Amino acid sequence: MTRHVVVITGGAGDIGRALAAEYLAAGSEVHLVDRNPDVMQIAADSGATGHVVDLTDADAVAVLGTIVRVDVLITAVGAWPLLAFDDLTPRVWASQIDINLNSTYYAVHTLRHGLRAAVGSVVAVSSAVALKGHPQMASYAAAKAGVIGMVKALALALGPDGVRVNAVAPGLVTTPAQQEMWGAERSAAFRATRALDRDIATADVVSSVMFLASAGASSITGQTLVVDGGTVLH
């Protein structure tokens, strides 16, 4: 029987690693892709296959075209600076669009034949910031909003081949690094803006991504699932 093939970009990050662990435990063949060289050791330790690739470079991403079957593609690349708009330079803006938007396009475009061959599924990690804005995250919000728009377009473009394309838009995910950066008081104040008085854990994002990629979501495409405890309400 052919093994389920999962490709995760941003594979060295918290969400990427957690997703890999779940898919590997289920017996999938997992490819972790990241520009951070640590992805090779992360992959080796977990039983995945690692690829050091600059996902903002279309020519570099082309190497992934050797993966001929892709059941699930998860684009979990994300990075942002907290900058006042007056301090947001054109160079930083362009870099944020490359990292947070173009990387998703390059990955899906490169792997489109493998997705069609497997009648696969794409789940892009966007952000709740794309839906509500943030005064210090204009470039990140714009890029992640672009991901949501791209998901709608790709759902229409790839749907005739049976390929589904969806997004997850997490709110602020509680991690040790986030807690250290924000501090307890600021984190508590942010949590108070949610309908649910609880933190958002990496596991919450992982389970949402895996649901959208699964057969249980076989009639869902072009949608964005907000995982933020009720900060953004539709």
CB atoms within 10 A of CB 98: 17
E-strand stretches of 10-54: 29-34, 49-52
Rounded Cα gap, residues 79 and 64, in angstroms: 22
pLDDT at 203: 96
Task: Find the angle CA(106)-CA(171)-CA(199) to the nearest 5 degrees.
Answer: 140
Q: What is the pLDDT of residues 101-159, one digit of tens each?
A: 999 999 999 999 999 999 999 999 999 999 999 999 999 999 999 999 999 999 999 99
Q: In Å, what is the CA distance from 34 to each residue of 52, 96, 131? A: 5, 16, 26
Residue 98, classed as helix, strand or coil, is helix
Can you list the alpha helix ranges (DSSP code H) found in 51-183? 58-61, 90-97, 103-118, 129-132, 138-158, 176-182
49-52 and 72-75: which strand pairing? unpaired
Domains of the chain, with CATH numbers?
A: 5-171+202-227 (3.40.50.720)
Rounded Cα gap, residues 222 and 212, in angstroms: 11
Q: What is the pLDDT of residues 32-73, one digit of tens each?
A: 999 999 999 999 999 999 999 999 999 999 999 999 999 999
CB atoms within 10 A of CB 171: 25
- For 129, the token pair is 């910031």
pLDDT at 1: 53
Confidence class of residue 184 from pLDDT cuts 50, 70 and 90?
A: confident
Residue 6, classed as helix, strand or coil, is strand
Burial of 8 (0-12, 13-18, 19+ CB in 10 A): buried
- For 90, the token pair is 């054109």
Please determine, for residue 177, whether its predicted confidence score (pLDDT) is greater than 80: no
Burial profile 198-215: b = 16 or more Cβ within 10 angstroms, e = fewer: ebbebebbbebbbebbee
pTM over 0.75: yes
Cα-Cα-Cα-Cα torsion 96, 100, 102, 107, nearest 10 degrees, comes to: 150
Rounded Cα gap, residues 93 and 101, in angstroms: 11
Mean pLDDT (whole number) for 171-195: 80
